[in-house]
A and B are shown apart, each in its own frame.
Chain A
Amino acid sequence: MTIFIPTPLRPYAGGKDSVEVSATTIAGALAELTAAHPELRKHLFNAEGKLRAFVNVYLNDEDVRYLPAKEATEVSAADTLSIIPSIAGGTGN
């Protein structure tokens, strides 16, 4: 499957905008990604090894957090995984 790397994380993925992995689950795909590019790990995961709160991961058009099997969801070669840090802000006033 293809994992799309967002702009801010490309420097930690050898400058690539996408990485091909052969894992069969989402968790496996992320593990394969961070094994190949260890510097990505701290940007994606917290100290407990869970995805950071502001990191969204989409399997095709589905938020992984809301999939029944979450990161244990099986994937195929045709699937895509998008890593999307959250976008928010405002004056707050």
Chain B
Amino acid sequence: MSVLRMTRAVFEAIRAHGEETYPHECCGALLGTSTDAGWAIASWGQAGNTRTDSAHNRYQIAPLELVKIEREARRQGLGIAGFYHSHPDHPAHWSTTDLEEAHWLGCAYVITAVAAGKATVTNSFLLAGSSEEDKRFEQQAIDVEEPG
């Protein structure tokens, strides 16, 4: 199983974002650096959920928001390593919709289950494969790095 490294600050921030937007889904980008051991997440960028028609069970990030997040990441010497979103009152596991609409191969998709407004389980899934035809999610361990 591959490992997604993440600072404690990022881990707590993305879980808190899911609690803030409950009962709607939150979403955002994970910014980091690529290492031999996989992505190391150092920062994050909150994004608005454009699916206001169905925000309790769908999320979408406006591409222009991603253009701006990537611009800021580049300024920090980081890259877009993946994305996070929440599943309100639903398990922290990818859905069919998540896989169909995932196109960032090699990136991490982090999902936090938020039950009755409280963040519970957070899981990460690597979008593995080399094309749209053979893409698949593979669960990753999340290694939360404590400050110090």
B58 proximity list for chain A (CB < 8 A): 88-92
Q: Cβ of A7 and Cβ of B107 under 8 Å apart?
A: yes
Residue interface bits A75-92, CB-to-B below 8 A is 1, else 0:
000000010111111111
Q: How far is the CA of A63 from the CA of B25 in the complex (A)?
A: 25
Asked whether A90 and B95 contact (CB < 8 A) given A7-B79, A8-B104, the answer is yes
> How far is the CB of B132 from the nearest CB of chain A, in Å?
8
Asked whether A86 and B106 contact (CB < 8 A) given A58-B63, A61-B64, the answer is no
User: Is B11 at the interface (CB under 8 A from chain A)?
Assistant: no
User: Is B27 at the interface (CB under 8 A from chain A)?
Assistant: yes
Q: How far is the CA of A43 from the CA of B132 in the complex (A)?
A: 8
Closest to A55 in B: B103
**Stretch in B1-9, B83-91, B116-124, B138-146 with 4+ CB within 8 Å of A:** B83-91
> How far is the CB of A63 from the nearest CB of chain B, in Å?
7
Q: Cβ of B97 and Cβ of A91 under 8 Å apart?
A: yes
B74 proximity list for chain A (CB < 8 A): 4, 17
Q: How far is the CA of A82 from the CA of B104 in the complex (A)?
A: 15
Q: Cβ of A58 and Cβ of B102 under 8 Å apart?
A: no
A61 proximity list for chain B (CB < 8 A): 64, 67-68
Q: How far is the CA of A20 from the CA of B116 in the complex (A)?
A: 49
B136 proximity list for chain A (CB < 8 A): none
Query: Within the complex, which residue of B68, B79, B85 is in contact with A89, where a contact is CB–CB below 8 Å?
Result: B85
A residues neighboring B (CB under 8 Å)? 4, 6-8, 11, 17, 42-43, 52, 54-56, 58, 61, 63, 82, 84-93
